[in-house]
Amino acid sequence: MIMLQLKNASVTLDKQLILSLDNVALPYGQLNVLAGPSGAGKSTFLHTISGQLKPTQGEVYWKDFSLEGLNESARSRWRSQNIGFIFQDFNLIPSLSALDNVLLQHSFSHWRISDDVRQLALALLEQFGVPNVHKNISQFSRGEKQRIALARALVGHPEIILADEPTASLDQENADFVIQQLKAQAALGKFVLVVSHDPLVINQAAYTVYLERGVIQHESMDAA
């Protein structure tokens, strides 16, 4: 079933056309990958579908819900309630512990951290093999940091998971771990989209969209 649709969507910045998408439709329940060279418009694509950037023309639909009518505050609230983000450079707070980093985003939108959420955060960190969750982030390896970032993205039970080059700075073991966890989330019925040029990611994708100069060049489907 289709989760994400972009209908005649385009983004123009400083009078330059950055993204032009006539009709894009991506399903949930599988690993979707957005590939393309540097400068292809991949980050703009992510910013547009997550409501961080409003398209100059056209609309973004999640199922039958359009982001068009939402103001900036409402879009921000919608993002925090529905999307889990994973970044190449982790975006973790160096002065906080692993556990506090996982709970931080949740604390922004709730008066207090419930015991259930705290226990889920601890369970995710344990499941992902993160040792000593009370250690400062600076004491963890890059692979461990991405596992912490993955736990942070999942602790709010998001329906949508967007990952921007999540394996780019990882060794093969940690990269494969991240991919398998994302595939597991897709198997639970989540919408998962990974921006990547990593062959390890692309080879395991069920559906890949190739973007170049802001335009989709081709799409491919695999039985992965």
Q: Which residue has the higher pLDDT, 113 or 11?
A: 11
CA 73 – CA 114 distance, rounded (Å)? 25
- pLDDT of 39-57, one tens digit each? 999 999 999 999 999 999 9
User: Which CATH number fits the domain that encloses residue 170?
Assistant: 3.40.50.300
User: What's the whole-number mean pLDDT along residues 25-46?
Assistant: 95
What is the structure's pLDDT at 9? 95
Counted domains in the chain: 1
C-alpha to C-alpha distance for 101 and 33, rounded to whole angstroms: 27
If you search the block for the tokens 């972009």, which residue do you land on?
A: 6
The amino acid at 45: F
> Over the stretch 152-161, which tens digit does the pLDDT of each residue have?
999 999 999 9
Q: Are 162 and 91 in contact (CB under 8 A)?
A: no
Q: Where are the alpha helices (DSSP H) in the chain?
A: 42-49, 72-82, 98-108, 115-127, 142-154, 172-187, 199-202
Q: Is the pLDDT of residue 224 over 60?
A: no
Residue entry with tokens 């998962």: 192
Task: Judge contact between 209 and 32, C-beta under 8 A.
Answer: yes
Say what the pTM is: 0.94
Task: Please compute the mean of the pLDDT values over residues 179-192 and round it to a whole number.
Answer: 97
pLDDT, tens only, 98-138: 999 999 977 766 667 889 999 999 999 999 999 999 999 99
The predicted-structure confidence for 60-97, as pLDDT tens digits, reads as follows 999 989 998 899 999 999 999 999 999 999 999 999 99
- Is the distance from CB of 190 to CB of 150 less than 8 angstroms? no
Secondary structure class of 209 (helix, strand, coil): strand
Domain that holds residue 130: 2-221
